[in-house]
Chains A and B, each alone.
Chain A
Amino acid sequence: MTSTLPAVTTPTVPAQRKPAPDPGSAGRTTPPRRLRSSRPDLLLCGLLLVAILVVQGWNIADYPTLSDDEGTYLAQAWAVQEGKGLAHYTYWYDHPPFGWIQIALLTWIPSLISPESMTVGSMRGIMLVVSGTSAVLVYVLGRRLALPRWAAGLGMVLFGLSPLSVVLQREIFLDNLAVMWTLLAFTLAASPSRHLWHHFGAGIAAATAVLTKETMLVILPALLVTLWRHSHRDTRKFAVTGAITACALIGFSYPLFALLKGELLPGGGHVSLWDGVKYQMTRPGSGFILDQGSGSWGVFQSWLYYDRVLPLGGLAGALLLLATWRWSVTARALAGPALTVAILAALALRPNGYLPAMYVIQALPFLALVLAGGTASVAHGVLRRWRTEGEKRFLTGGRYALAAVLAIAAGAYVVPKWYDGDRTAVTLDANAPYKAASKWLSSEVENPEDTRVLVDDALWLDLVHAGYRPGLGVIWFYKADLDPAVTKTMPGGWKDIDYVVASPTVRRDAVDLPNVKAAIQHSKPVAVFGTGEDRIEIRQIQATSGGAR
């Protein structure tokens, strides 16, 4: 038997060393060394997970409305599975491809069993794996950031059951995958054992998050703060440089990939990473978020439509925590999430930045943690602050009464709203028009293999399964104007097309797309599903109205 000096086997640190500082604090529940072996934690987390999966999973295919972006990513995942490269149209470095490579992996087995199920509605099921993992990570992270058990559970509930979360996390968005990796990075950074390779792993997870959705880049400083706080003075320089190195090296694989393909810098006749980045950086702004009538205002209101508690409450929680940094233990423990919220809020407040609807996804877990932490802070203030051993009984009773009143008030405000929101999510069928359109195009068109259809990305895979030629037969509508490889196959413009499926997205974007616009103008609806703004029209091109075809 050989061994190093005994402290490896015994948890005590030798006397001449300062004991390693506890990331939590005295007087609060310190998280157990191993959550895995803590029965109450497992039980609570498991029960909440089941609840979240049920609410998120029930009716997942029919609500919310299929989004164009979901179609894009799933179609590209399909292209990866089919060995057609990173996309079935030319991959142009719009996003790093790692996101839909993961989607391809997640959908791989289901699509082997039933290839036709590779459509947006049915493949939303895989998002349950992602949001379930994220929800558990929120709980673990909450515990590692020294939240009491109930507060970590509250964070998990806020994250998983807010109607806003339910809507957004059901959709096949890269952001949801990136959030999972980011949460993993934070969880590893806050590892209670402060293990060098956990911190190294945090760097790898962070890089993976960025390669899944590049916007995660802005969160990295908050991750670094978490890592710094949770590393020990004696090993910190190795932990921090290790994490940064890991993150940088993995991150550089993307430009390296472009370099290996000869597409790093712009050049004649090929796409490039440079152009892709330039496109993302110069996207037209959607206005100031607080400027009523701007696009950003609209996006902001659409979030608040689903839930006000999580975005506004979380923001308030973050400000509270940052303001009470000096006095509150919870505030310091939650520095990382609070900083994340602050960074994302500051970016959203850019005067004329581009604010996509899924922007809030990356903030959701941190809003939830910060709100839960703020609640824990308030609870601590009410129940424990200035409490002495010999406090009079009626005072203590008053504390508990106040806490109960606050809890009931909060519940009375939140629960009915969330109940309504979540009930809509588990009952409403928002995608009936899409399904009907898909069915019509599969059954009513005689020779799908020779038919050319402009369609939005969400329906694209449906039509591929129905026998249309992927890429040039069934065409992502905007490619008809924007992709030279597609436009050169339609010298006659709209005349070379047979159908346009005018979904809300197509009608909205057609304004800036001459070929699509012309196709809509020179066509007549042959089938209409749904009514009003959300209707889907299948329009057949009228050859006679525009001359011979």
Chain B
Amino acid sequence: MLTSVFIAAISLALFWMAAFTLWWQMHAWRTPEVLASTRFHRPDGGESLSFSLLLPARHEQAVLDHTIQRLLESSHTDFEIIVIVGHDDPETTAVACDAAERDPRVRVVVDTHEKKNKPKAMNTALPHCRGDVVGVFDAEDQVHPELLAHVDHAFRTTGADVVQGGVQLINFHSSWYSLRNCLEYFFWFRSRLHLHAQKGFIPLGGNTVFVRTDVLREADGWDPECLAEDCDLGVRLSSVGKKVVVAYDSDMVTKEETPGSLMSLLKQRTRWNQGFLQVYRKKDWKQLPGFGQRLLARYTLMTPFMQAFTGLVIPLNVAIALFMDVPVGIAFITFLPAVTALVTFVFELVGLHDFGRQYGLRVRFVHYVKLVVGGPFYQVLLAGAAVRAVWREQRGRNDWELTTHVGAHLNTAEATREDVPA
């Protein structure tokens, strides 16, 4: 009897968690109107804002120049690019200075911190920004030339303080985990983030994010000690009531690549989880006015850990239902989370199809198979990263584990390099 009650309680909790996550994940596709609203509006041709685009680069001489050239192709007329390099990184500095000589819109700022990380680099550059809006990109990003015009329009028409554009991992064919990783990004930027914007609590992404310069300075820039400074900035800004607008257009997203190895994915994920945990403990989200908002914040920041938990418990639950002698009614309840997980699976398959359509990529049958078969293993990976994050946070290890990129989304680069984490 007690076992039954216990199992039923756990199952129901899991069910609600899975159901809410699914609900939010599918936000953008709820109605055709919602889907249409997630896009950028077409710019009307007017431009009134100036941009300072931050481009932190670390040991990224291989791709940096390409990124800068592509940014310079932007159709917007008023922007500057501030490349931030480390004083201990002469190769990247050379590439950056080269670009600065060729085009006056490019400037170079040298970060002299002893221990380097991305938020410190960006804070170094913040006083040098002349634009009305600060935008952040990573050194390996492929940015669409029309993006700035769209962002300009979005700022003007919505009165936003922050505009978050879409970021999309694109190399789904590279490996089984990159497939899942791409799809995670797809659901996050295509759908879930819009829900957060609507609800007034949003963890921002690491790049293609634009903040009004005065708002950013008022908030003292990024938190140099936080491992998820992007998430933290979003939480701090939305907690004090700044207006955040999210827009996603498949031809306007910033294209990126998945980490080059399973280990670097694990490290990246560990860092994010640890960052989320730090943001949670900073308690800025407690200033949110609404109870629902605070609940959403609490839940979102805890998600990695719940995810780990569900990934492990759901199979256990099903096993109990099938092999242990529990009443049929209880057995049914234990299947509820599994049912929700199955629905999520199906929507992921459809999402993969949609992803292929949106980006004109050919998704083959084998990819769908990989998506399904890889699901449980990916869950194990996520659980591992979550456990690792808790452990590292407990031990007070806050250093940055870097992510390696191989440039798989660029047709040119074959160089292996390290960079500032995505």
Contact = CB atoms under 8 A, between A and B. Distances in A.
A195 B30 contact: yes
A237 B197 contact: no
A108 to B, nearest CB: 17
A2 B343 CA distance: 30
Given A245-B343, A253-B332, A5 B31 contact: no
Contacts of B335: 253, 256
Contacts of B199: 2
Contacts of B328: 257, 260-261
Interface string A329-367: 000000000000000000000000000000000000000
B13 interface: no
B41 A5 contact: yes
A445 to B, nearest CB: 38
A5 B242 contact: no
B30 A237 contact: no
Interface in A194-236: 194-197, 232, 234-235
A97 B386 CA distance: 43
Contact of A197 (B30, B33, B42): B30
A16 interface: yes
B349 to A, nearest CB: 8
B38 A260 contact: no
Contacts of B349: 241
A17 interface: yes
A241 B350 contact: yes
A235 B32 contact: yes
A7 B36 contact: yes
Contact of A6 (B32, B158, B339): B158
Nearest to A20: B32
A4 interface: yes
A249 B41 contact: no
Interface string B34-71: 11111111100000000000000000000000000000
A2 B242 contact: yes
Interface residues of A, number: 36
Given A195-B30, A260-B328, A1 B243 contact: yes
A356 to B, nearest CB: 29
A194 B31 contact: yes
B347 A4 contact: no
A3 B36 contact: no
A270 to B, nearest CB: 15
A194 B200 CA distance: 25
Residue of B36, B243, B244, B347 with highest tally of chain A CB at under 10 A: B36
A246 B342 CA distance: 10
B247 A5 contact: yes
Given A235-B31, A260-B328, A196 B37 contact: no
B126 interface: no
A195 B34 CA distance: 10
Interface in A370-429: none
Contacts of B33: 7-8, 11, 13, 20
Contacts of A197: 23, 26, 30
A440 interface: no
Interface residues of B, number: 49
B194 interface: yes
Given A3-B197, A11-B33, A238 B339 contact: no
Contacts of A20: 32-33, 36
A5 B32 contact: no
Nearest to B194: A4
A1 B202 CA distance: 11
B179 interface: no
A546 interface: no
B112 interface: no
A4 B38 contact: yes
A3 B343 contact: no
A15 B347 CA distance: 28
Nearest to B338: A249
A199 to B, nearest CB: 10
Nearest to A16: B42
A5 B35 CA distance: 11
A232 to B, nearest CB: 4
A2 B202 contact: yes
Contacts of A239: 29
B346 interface: yes
B200 A1 contact: yes
Contact of A2 (B36, B40, B243, B353): B243
A4 B29 CA distance: 14
Given A2-B242, A2-B244, A5-B41, A14 B29 contact: no
Contacts of B315: none
B220 interface: no
Contacts of B244: 2
Contacts of A155: none
A242 interface: yes
Interface in A248-287: 249, 253, 256-257, 260-261
A195 B31 contact: yes
Given A20-B33, A241-B346, A261-B328, A2 B158 contact: no
A4 to B, nearest CB: 5
B270 interface: no
A193 B29 CA distance: 12
A234 B35 contact: yes
A285 to B, nearest CB: 35
Contact of B37 (A2, A7, A235, A256): A7
Given A241-B347, A249-B339, A4 B198 contact: yes
Nearest to B193: A4
A6 B343 contact: no
A237 B42 contact: no
Contacts of B321: 260
Contact of B347 (A3, A14, A195, A238): A238
Given A2-B244, A4-B198, A242 B343 contact: yes
B245 interface: yes
Given A5-B41, A197-B30, A235-B29, A249 B343 contact: yes
B123 to A, nearest CB: 24
Contacts of B201: 2
Contact of B42 (A15, A232, A245, A246): A15
Residue of B34, B246, B353 with highest tally of chain A CB at under 10 A: B34
Given A2-B244, A3-B243, A5-B154, A234 B32 contact: yes
Interface string B235-251: 00010011111110000
B36 A245 contact: no
Contacts of A4: 37-38, 194, 197-198, 245-247
A250 B211 CA distance: 47
B354 interface: yes
B332 to A, nearest CB: 7
Contacts of B81: none
Given A4-B246, A7-B33, A237-B354, A246 B197 contact: no
B331 interface: yes
A238 B29 contact: yes
B7 to A, nearest CB: 14
22 contacts: A2-B197, A2-B242, A3-B243, A4-B37, A4-B245, A5-B40, A6-B158, A14-B41, A16-B42, A17-B36, A193-B31, A196-B26, A196-B31, A232-B31, A232-B32, A234-B35, A235-B32, A238-B354, A242-B346, A246-B343, A257-B332, A260-B321
Interface of A: 1-8, 11, 13-17, 20, 193-197, 232, 234-235, 237-239, 241-242, 245-246, 249, 253, 256-257, 260-261
Q: Which 6 A-B pairs have the closest CB atoms?
A: A7-B37, A232-B32, A2-B244, A238-B29, A245-B346, A2-B200
Given A5-B38, A17-B39, A238-B29, 13 more contacts: A1-B243, A2-B199, A2-B200, A4-B247, A5-B37, A7-B33, A13-B33, A14-B37, A14-B39, A195-B31, A235-B29, A249-B342, A249-B343
Interface of B: 23, 26, 29-42, 154, 157-158, 194, 197-202, 238, 241-247, 321-322, 328, 331-332, 335, 339, 342-343, 346-347, 349-350, 353-354
